[in-house]
Structure 1
Amino acid sequence: MGEKTIIRPLYLNMIKGFIDDPNVKIITGLHRSGKTELLEIIENEISAHVPADHIIYINFEDMDFQDVTNSKQLNAYLKNKIIDENKYYIFLDEIQLVLDWEKTVNALRLKNTDIYITGSNSKIMSDELATLLGGRTVSFHMNTLSFAEFIDFREQNGIGTADIDKELDEYINIGGFPLLSVRKYNEIDARKIVKDINSTALLKDVAVRHQIRQPQLLDKLVAFLYDNVGNLISIRAIVNYLKSHGRGADPETIANYIKYLEDAFIIRSAPRYDVRGKSLLQTNDKFYLGDHSLQYAIRNRRPDKIQGVLENIVFMELIRRGYNVYVGKMADKEIDFVAIEQDGTRKIYIQVCLEFTTPETYAREFNPLKDIRDNYHKYVVTLDKNWNADEDGVMGIHLKDFLLRDIL
């Protein structure tokens, strides 16, 4: 069965309401998270009622546009395309590859245009850009597939199963990059694809963009972060680790490299949050990956790392649902996640546990949540099929059920 484009309603419906809106539509996301496909779907929607010569689509990663590298060249190209006063729909894919592209977009928006741009870097949503464009922007962020989307993609492409447990295991194994859900890949081939996605993102969106002078240091840092998903990490600890492995680095350089990785959505930080004091702490964040499968770019799936993978999956599900996500601290106890809605009106407390093998495991996961005296939802998310309990306001729930819940 051939591949077909699968619509992601969550993102398409958000953007459709802004078609013909004067704001510049900005779509960001990790490399290969589906931005180009979304742009093509929007283009197809518009082309149903707009002449083809009034739709301009440029993918700056395409060989046909390799010579368009700065705003002057982009202006020249568009000048030959925009030849009358009727509205033009302009799609600029991976715009960050064009130097000073903001100048072109700023000039375009003053014409009769409807503009859509994508990029693999958070900087295209910066305050400076909003100021340059007079505040006339609206931003959308794409993540890789949720588990629900993963099931839908595989079903529509004829490679899914009716067994949700098998689908979950496949999701854990190959991750949420859309490319991996439109046809059947064995585990080895899937890992090769993820490794290529990872390498390209690191090269284009970090090393080249920021003119990294120490690429080997970046590689060592990435390997360390990927191998320590779900662990509390300080800049000093990273510096000491690299030094012990013969790679000296100063804290400022490491902090900058981490910021570059975050800007490219390759990693995401979870700061520490004092549950009782209701305040952020300034030390020892945890780091998670833009898709849990990126871990497999540096090593195969290992039993001793599955806890971090599960945490990563839960973390990204919370991000997809619009929460700000923190690591909870309460006295000497840690709570894996405190998720707070962006308006601050609602919280969720979450522990993630592979399985309940001993009474000590149960106590470690449940007791910190029992000690929180408020009425917000509290979950222990697990892969343990023999555990599904609600005790003292704390709900034990299987990972698949947590990921597929309509409301958390």
Structure 2
Amino acid sequence: MKKDIVPVIARQKEEVKERLNRRIVERDISSKIGGYLEKNIIKVVTGVRRSGKSFLSMLLLRNRNFGYVNFDEKELIDVRLDDLLSGIIEIYGKVGFLLMDEIQNVKGWELWINSLQRRGYNLVVTGSNARLLSKELATHLTGRYVEFENFPFSFVEYLRWRGIEPTNLHSKEKEGELKNALREYMKKGGFPEYLVENLSSDYLRTLFDSIIYSDIVKRWKVRYPTKIEDVARYLLSTFSREYSATKLKNILGLRSTFTVLNYIKYIEEAFLLFSLERFSFKQKEFLKAPKKVYSVDLGLSNLISTRLTEDSGLMMENLVFLDLKRDGLTENKEIFYFKSNEGEVDFVIKEGMKIKKLIQVTHASARDEIERREIKTLLKLGKELKCKDLICITWDYEAEEKNGRNTIRFIPLWKWLLKL
């Protein structure tokens, strides 16, 4: 077995060298992970396939003595740990750090990680399946790991790639340049390799197929692959909207809501989409209400969508959700949506037992384009929940409006994403 893996490790080493010679776009999450790099704690980087987890980890380790193994290779699936370490040392020499890429492909990987840490290795681990990683980490590595969720490029990182500096913001010319870049970002999305290498849309189609058929169907032995693909396509096409398992079952001709819920869980665990629960003080209403779905990347959703027209408001809402996630907030623990007969608030941000922030998103360029109902619901819910931080994210309208004791801040999306 060792003879088979040494050439693989050697080839992967050359691939690392080649990748580190490419153009580098610094990722915002780097500083968060970097703060833990020298600590004797396992660093786990998760996220959707091709979001840049591996390259991000390589960049963090580039000035350190590290060995790298990518387990997306069939020769490494059944490898023994001692043979693997022998192969790494043969190719890299003695190393202090190990970068283990797509570790969930190896059966019993969590026992490996335990053993390697006990032997004194500083470990960075990546993976593309939330459930496999979190379940085993919680069971076997309690208190000895820290997890970071990586996403495709944010708008700030997209600007960094484009070489657009968010400076001189009082200039209308610069504002126009930033809004033009935002329109392009909403269409293309942020998958790093797709953008940096200027690849065709076939890249995103192949990526979608790989996630469905390699990360989901193969891993979970799904009996009806085309059905789970249908579920993924439907939900990724209807981002920022409510869905229910019963409705999906009827639309797509599936056998049971149980099957639908399982399929959605598998797709979420591959980081393709996120489900958001409705906020309610009543537990029964909370459990029964439909959920809203958000896509991990608008470029991917735009490509596979069956929609004939764009809905800029829904695209803006999806971007705001992803931005909240990048800020470290967790759906259904800190982020919810609200809906009643009187209206809807897109995001309810909870901190402990308090509601910290209410956010409405609307594609409006002027005050008279914002529906009265959206503002009324925002104010009413703010009063009920004793929340004073009320925000309405717009396309182009900026202002502050007082209404009794409450103030609503109207912020253009590009400024919100730039944290201005």
TM-score, normalised relative to structure 1: 0.84
Structure 2 alignment gaps of length 5 or more = 1-20, 166-172
Distance in structure 2 (CA, Å) of the matches to 1:135 and 1:394: 41
Which of 359, 363, 376 matches 2:388? 376
Change in Cα spacing, 1:31 to 1:236, as seen in structure 2 (3 Å) is same
Change in Cα spacing, 1:134 to 1:79, as seen in structure 2 (3 Å) is farther
Distance in structure 1 (CA, Å) of the matches to 2:113 and 2:213: 26
Q: Secondary structure at the match of 2:39?
A: coil
- 1:164 corresponds to which residue? 178
- State the identity as a percent: 28
- 1:389 corresponds to which residue? 399
Q: Alpha carbon RMSD of aligned pairs, Å?
A: 2.9
Q: CA deviation at 1:227?
A: 2.4
1:46 matched to 2:56:
no
The answer as to whether partners of 2:127 and 2:133 remain within 8 angstroms in 1 is: no
Which of 57, 61, 78 matches 2:68? 57
- Where do 1:262-281 residues align within 5 Å? 262-274=268-280, 281=286
The answer as to whether partners of 2:400 and 2:410 remain within 8 angstroms in 1 is: yes
- 1:400 corresponds to which residue? 414
Change in Cα spacing, 1:86 to 1:183, as seen in structure 2 (3 Å) is closer
- 1:51 corresponds to which residue? none
- Where do 1:4-403 residues align within 5 Å? 4-8=23-27, 10-47=28-65, 55-61=66-72, 65-70=73-78, 72-82=79-89, 88-155=96-163, 163-184=177-198, 189=200, 191-243=201-253, 248-274=254-280, 281-282=286-287, 283-299=289-305, 302-323=308-329, 324-330=334-340, 332-341=342-351, 343=352, 347-355=356-364, 361-371=370-380, 372-373=382-383, 374-383=386-395, 385=396, 387-391=397-401, 392=403, 393-403=407-417
Q: CA deviation at 1:307?
A: 2.8
Structure 1 alignment gaps of length 5 or more = 48-54
CA shift digits 1:245-296 (9 cap, x unpaired): xxx321111111100111111010110002x669981120001111122212
- 2:13 corresponds to which residue? none
Count matched residues. 378
Distance in structure 1 (CA, Å) of the matches to 2:33 and 2:335: 25
Q: CA deviation at 1:131?
A: 2.7
CA shift digits 1:364-394 (9 cap, x unpaired): 22111121213432222222x3x32322312
Q: CA deviation at 1:103?
A: 2.0
- 2:168 corresponds to which residue? none
Q: What is the identity, as a one-letter code, of the residue corresponding to 2:419? A: R
Distance in structure 1 (CA, Å) of the matches to 2:284 and 2:379: 20
Q: CA deviation at 1:124?
A: 4.3
Q: CA deviation at 1:22?
A: 2.1
The answer as to whether partners of 2:345 and 2:378 remain within 8 angstroms in 1 is: yes
Q: Secondary structure at the match of 1:303?
A: coil
Distance in structure 2 (CA, Å) of the matches to 1:145 and 1:316: 11
Q: Secondary structure at the match of 1:208?
A: helix
